[in-house]
Structure 1
Amino acid sequence: MRYRIAADADAPHYLAVEADLDTITTQTVELQLPAWRPGRYELQHFAKNIQRFQVVDDTGQPLPFRKIAKDRWRVETNGVSALTVRYNYYANIINAGTSFVDEGLLYVNPINLCLYAEGRIDEECTLELDIPADWPVACGLRQLAPGVLWARDYYELVDCPLMASPFIQEVSYEVQGVLFHVWIQGGWRTDGTDSFDPERIRRDFSQFSVKQIELYGEFPEKEYHFLTIVLPTAFYHGVEHRNSTMLVLGPNDEGEGLYQDLLGVSSHELFHAWNIIRIRPAELLPYDFTKENYFTTCFVAEGVTTYYGDLMLRRSAVFNDAAYLKELQVMFKRHFETSGRALQSLVESSWDLWLDGYEKGVPDRKVSVYYKGAIAALILDLHIRRRTNHARSLDDVMRTMWAQFGKPFLGYTLDDYRAVTEAVAGESLDWYYDLCIFGNQPLEAKLNEYLAWVSLRIEYDESHTIHLLETGDEAGLLQRAKWFGAPLTQEPHEGAVAEENLERT
């Protein structure tokens, strides 16, 4: 397919799309628009945003077509060898998975609006943008010429969002031969000053990138892009992609809080470059964009990543102890105070992401694969560390998953993950899977058993608000330093973790 995207001259906030298909040899062609996007495991029905739709041959004459499903069209080719599809797409919402156009920004997630021809999804694609020549384009795709992008197949095309704007700032850095780009659009305060310090970004991002690459021993790509849109309103959203991440944050006047959000979501999404982009559940290889792709291991994809996102900021000394413990407290609050007595297990809630995983839902039904998944990962990490005196850890689990499944790009199953965790632990983990993964029992007691080993504990107060406390145990502080992989940065003490500004936007 060859795609051309421009602002629709006849309809504000619509994108005009043309898609050319050649070397046609069949009597009919079926065209499919995805029903969902990777990184968000729910049906989103992008076809609902199409206003006009037309198919013509290479002379511009209309070809007959009919819609055979909500997002699928069958075209009668009438013997022609090439056709062009012309349609427009409503692009007036900004989050990390949408598309948007106005006079100063073209933001496209190709998964929203680039259809494909059935049977030809593995063919190379080009994407041409109708933008001013001086607009820089931030994207992980190869650029053949200004505004012209190339993908080896449709899967790569739709896993590479793009931003084009005259107002984009770029900060780049290099780690172990990998070039990283931090692209920021809208990163100015209302007084016109920068929301971010480029040198601080370069320093902090380099530090956590180094630690993540050290864990796995290598990086999957030659380049990586952090695409960031900063809004004037409160926002916090990130989505992982093949060699990039799309981030939307706000408000731009929040100052230090905005920068902490940028760090937290960026570290999380970078960890996805290994975990889910390549260490991928078997049920998602390859993606089927026409329907739900059910899987039970989102607690690995998102829970383990949530755990490591903040831990890597501590290991790299971007966060000190106090900053990391605040993030732990936020995670504990979000699970225990909202779904600590929910009836679903992690595997059940992983499966039901496709039903209502991103909605509040009915009370005490589901758990968050992000927050309970991260708590389960923490318990497993501390269990392996305690049993082996830090000789092995969850790091070894993830390295093994990378070597066995990620690097060769072979999908893993829940049984595969369990086998790897038990091999690293050197014992059966029946208790762990029965309690933390397949069970729905409260986790406070088991969590406190392991937190005590690192001089921490959680407690509820009279209003059922949970607090993370430090016990001041000297032996536990030594274990905590080994867990962090870095010297402690605060004086040992006993008491509550400071709770001001606990909640992110």
Structure 2
Amino acid sequence: MIHYQISCKNPNSQFIQIRLVLSLTQENPVVLQLPAWRAGRYQLANYAQNIRGFRIQDEKGNHIPFEKITKDRWIFESLHAGKYQIDYEYWAGKMDAGSAWADDEQVYVNLVNCCFEVFGKSEEEVSLTLDLPQFPMQISTLNPAGSSRWEAKNFQMLADSTVLAAKNLTHWEYAAGATQFHIWVHGEIHFDENLFIDRFRAFSQRLIRDFGEFPESVYHFIFQLLPYPHYHGVEHRRGTVITFGPAESLNDSDQMEELLGISCHELYHAWNVCRIRPAELLPYDFSKETYTKTGLILEGVTTYMGDLYLLKSGVYDLATYLKHFEKIISRESANFGWKNYTILESSFDLWLDGYIQGIPDRKVNIYTRGALLAFCLDILLLKHANSLAEVMRNMWKDFGKPFVGYEFKDFETAIFGSFPDQEEIRSFFSDFVFGYQDLYPTLNALLSEIGIELEGTLGEDWLLHQLGIRTSPEGVVLQLHPEAKAISVLMKNDRIVNWPVEKNLQSDLLELQIDRNGRFIELSLEKENGDFFLVYRLNLKEINPLTEKWKA
């Protein structure tokens, strides 16, 4: 068995001390690989930059030489059989749902950040001990094995797990199906406990009902409720970590809806991603980029279903659901990346620029674009006596439960089988999944099928809506509509000096004074009465039989 121990001599330094003990039976090169990324975020994190003081010694205390052969891979020679001790420090100085944090109140670690995969021993059992007596409240998504001790059956399980040791933790629990759900809260609580648990039980039960079972017998919701604005969640097989703030804002219903939304989203991942996983990600290779084109399924379906199950379970009413779906529609409407990159291409390039703004209109957002595509697929399926929920239940049976990887074509096959005449669904995939067509006319038509009107309106910002110029409150050009005349005159990051710009009805030209990278220039922009960057509203016109099927 491989042994890890985590301690923290000085929490204020934010360095944790980690000891890895290996029992080696023969003389061999030993390769230690630190993960370069984590599950759920397809971007190199380069955790090795947080390591210092790396040392190796044998059981007699002799120092063992080692060599670093890549940015996150070490190698040493085991000169004889016996135990070898690897000591190092890790900087736990980033608070989000996928990182590590230490301070005077807690030590919180996502183990993928700082634990090595030992080549040749990846399937060996691992034990983890916390030597943190100053933080007596200790939890983990690993299997408990005694006081301050947990075990993982292999490295993949270790890397999928979280530990939290704190001076104070709030603990609630509830049962749904055959699973015991634990809620752990670090931080201030400004909401009603019983209502919170009832809502979690409701969406958990509904998800379990539709999938038929929950993948695990125990599941942990770990909340870091922070005193400053924050919003992040990361999925694990046996739990999720969610960071949210400010904590006191959760006495507001809108903020609580956001927390419920991310919680249901992450719980959906317990099936979709944690178990229903594309072949290229099974198992995870954390040493390098692993490319996938399945972002539509991984995050698009999950984003759509996460909110939909709050409606299906009665946690949201229809008006609340539509309010949140409006936000997705509005965010996606401001992005014209669909003209240049499909969702499959954008998924493949997550490693390149998936989590940054990037250059204008290069790619689509797999979360928002994917959610709109998932909604459209759901309505198309419902019209043919099926649903996206049923498709995902079948994906669970065929791939998630046996834990075998799927190909994108398997998702297509699961959908296409519901259509006697496949021309409509094949055209949809050709235009919007593999192609570069505008989704909004089709989205509008499918919303109308369930009695909902998609209304595009113009707001008071005439520069934005009539001229296609999105600006900051200080007059800096943030975005230009690709079909607006302004794109031939202005540049992104131009600062409008004569700000705010007054609307002169007597002239067909708009005179602008511009600071362009330190150069002062005067420009004349021809006015136009465009309808750019519409503000979208969802209006419920009727509840028809298809509406009832969709939200039931």
Give the TM-score of the pair, scaled to structure 2.
Answer: 0.84
Shift of 1:133: 7.4
Q: Deviations over 1:374-398 (max 9, x none)?
A: 1001001101112x2xx31111211
Q: Is the 8 A contact 2:338 2:363 kept in 1?
A: no
Number of the residue aligned with 2:311: 314
Q: Distance in 1 between matches of 2:433 and 2:131?
A: 49
Give the 3-state SS of the residue equivalent to 1:22 in structure 2: strand
Q: Is the 8 A contact 1:23 1:82 kept in 2?
A: yes
Shift of 1:132: 1.9
Number of the residue aligned with 2:534: 465
Number of the residue aligned with 1:230: 225
Number of the residue aligned with 1:399: 393
Give the 3-state SS of the residue equivalent to 1:269 in structure 2: helix
Q: Is the 8 A contact 1:349 1:357 kept in 2?
A: yes
Q: Distance in 2 between matches of 1:406 and 1:26?
A: 40
Match of 1:436 among 424, 432, 438: 432
Match of 1:337 among 334, 339, 345: 334
One-letter identity of the residue aligned with 1:17: I
Give the 3-state SS of the residue equivalent to 2:334 in structure 1: helix
Q: Is the 8 A contact 1:128 1:147 kept in 2?
A: yes
Give the 3-state SS of the residue equivalent to 1:83 in structure 2: strand
Q: How does 1:63-102 map to 2 (within 5 A)?
A: 63-102=64-103
Q: Distance in 2 between matches of 1:36 and 1:394?
A: 30
Number of the residue aligned with 1:149: 150
One-letter identity of the residue aligned with 1:458: L
One-letter identity of the residue aligned with 1:68: I
Q: Is the 8 A contact 2:24 2:78 kept in 1?
A: no
Shift of 1:144: 1.2
Shift of 1:27: 2.5
Does structure 1 residue 300 correspond to structure 2 residue 304? no
Number of the residue aligned with 1:22: 23
Shift of 1:72: 0.4
Q: Deviations over 1:193-238 (max 9, x none)?
A: x323210111000100011001111111001100110111111100
Match of 1:364 among 361, 370, 374: 361
Q: Distance in 2 between matches of 1:469 and 1:238?
A: 27
Does structure 1 residue 271 correspond to structure 2 residue 274? no
Q: Is the 8 A contact 2:108 2:163 kept in 1?
A: yes
Q: Distance in 1 between matches of 2:122 and 2:195?
A: 42
Shift of 1:54: 0.5
The CA RMSD over aligned residues, in Å, is: 1.5
Number of the residue aligned with 2:409: 415
User: Does 456-465 or 345-354 show the bigger shift?
Assistant: 456-465
Q: Is the 8 A contact 2:11 2:103 kept in 1?
A: no
Q: Is the 8 A contact 2:240 2:267 kept in 1?
A: yes
User: Does 145-154 or 451-460 show the bigger shift?
Assistant: 451-460
Q: How does 1:173-192 map to 2 (within 5 A)?
A: 173-186=174-187, 188=188
Q: Is the 8 A contact 1:393 1:424 kept in 2?
A: no
Shift of 1:353: 0.6
Give the 3-state SS of the residue equivalent to 1:279 in structure 2: coil
Does structure 1 residue 479 correspond to structure 2 residue 549? no
Q: Is the 8 A contact 2:19 2:86 kept in 1?
A: yes
Q: Deviations over 1:77-102 (max 9, x none)?
A: 22243211100011111001110111
Number of the residue aligned with 1:495: none
User: Does 333-342 or 432-441 show the bigger shift?
Assistant: 333-342
One-letter identity of the residue aligned with 1:361: G
Q: Distance in 2 between matches of 1:285 and 1:325?
A: 35
Shift of 1:9: 4.0
Shift of 1:119: 1.2
Q: Distance in 1 between matches of 2:14 and 2:67?
A: 26
Number of the residue aligned with 2:349: 352
Q: Distance in 2 between matches of 1:127 and 1:59?
A: 23
Q: Deviations over 1:165-197 (max 9, x none)?
A: 1221111000122100111101x1xxxxx3232
One-letter identity of the residue aligned with 2:535: I
Q: Distance in 2 between matches of 1:162 and 1:347?
A: 34
One-letter identity of the residue aligned with 1:70: K
Number of the residue aligned with 2:322: 325
Task: Give me the identity figure in percent.
Answer: 38
Distance 1:366 1:24, change over 3 A: farther
Does structure 1 residue 452 correspond to structure 2 residue 448? yes
Deviating beyond 4 angstroms after TM superposition, the runs of 4 or more aligned structure 1 residues are none
Give the 3-state SS of the residue equivalent to 2:184 in structure 1: strand
Shift of 1:147: 1.0
Q: Which of the pair has the greater relative contact order for Cα pairs under 8 Å at 6+ separation?
A: 1
One-letter identity of the residue aligned with 1:274: W
Shift of 1:342: 4.3
One-letter identity of the residue aligned with 2:148: G
Q: Is the 8 A contact 2:30 2:118 kept in 1?
A: yes
User: Does 202-211 or 158-167 show the bigger shift?
Assistant: 158-167
Q: Is the 8 A contact 2:24 2:84 kept in 1?
A: no
Q: Is the 8 A contact 1:337 1:466 kept in 2?
A: no
Shift of 1:152: 0.7
Q: Is the 8 A contact 2:453 2:538 kept in 1?
A: yes
One-letter identity of the residue aligned with 1:67: K
Q: Distance in 2 between matches of 1:469 and 1:124?
A: 52
Number of the residue aligned with 2:376: 379
Shift of 1:457: 2.8
Q: Distance in 2 between matches of 1:97 and 1:243?
A: 15
Shift of 1:344: 0.7
* Structure 2 unaligned regions, length at least 5: 459-464, 466-532
Q: How does 1:246-261 map to 2 (within 5 A)?
A: 246-254=241-249, 255-256=251-252, 257-261=254-258
Q: Is the 8 A contact 1:342 1:367 kept in 2?
A: no
Aligned residue-pair number: 474
Give the 3-state SS of the residue equivalent to 1:61 in structure 2: coil
Give the 3-state SS of the residue equivalent to 1:205 in structure 2: helix
Q: Distance in 2 between matches of 1:421 and 1:211?
A: 22
Q: Is the 8 A contact 1:230 1:252 kept in 2?
A: yes
One-letter identity of the residue aligned with 1:264: G
Shift of 1:145: 1.4
Q: Is the 8 A contact 1:234 1:250 kept in 2?
A: yes
One-letter identity of the residue aligned with 1:201: F
User: Does 37-46 or 336-345 show the bigger shift?
Assistant: 336-345
Distance 1:30 1:484, change over 3 A: same
Number of the residue aligned with 1:42: 43
Give the TM-score of the pair, scaled to structure 1.
Answer: 0.91
Q: Distance in 1 between matches of 2:181 and 2:137?
A: 16
Does structure 1 residue 112 correspond to structure 2 residue 104? no
Q: Distance in 2 between matches of 1:384 and 1:332?
A: 21
User: Does 79-88 or 108-117 show the bigger shift?
Assistant: 79-88
Shift of 1:341: 4.6
Q: Distance in 2 between matches of 1:425 and 1:398?
A: 16
Number of the residue aligned with 2:484: none
Q: Deviations over 1:49-71 (max 9, x none)?
A: 11211011111111010100000
One-letter identity of the residue aligned with 2:441: A
Give the 3-state SS of the residue equivalent to 2:438 in structure 1: coil
Shift of 1:465: 2.8
Q: Distance in 2 between matches of 1:11 and 1:332?
A: 43
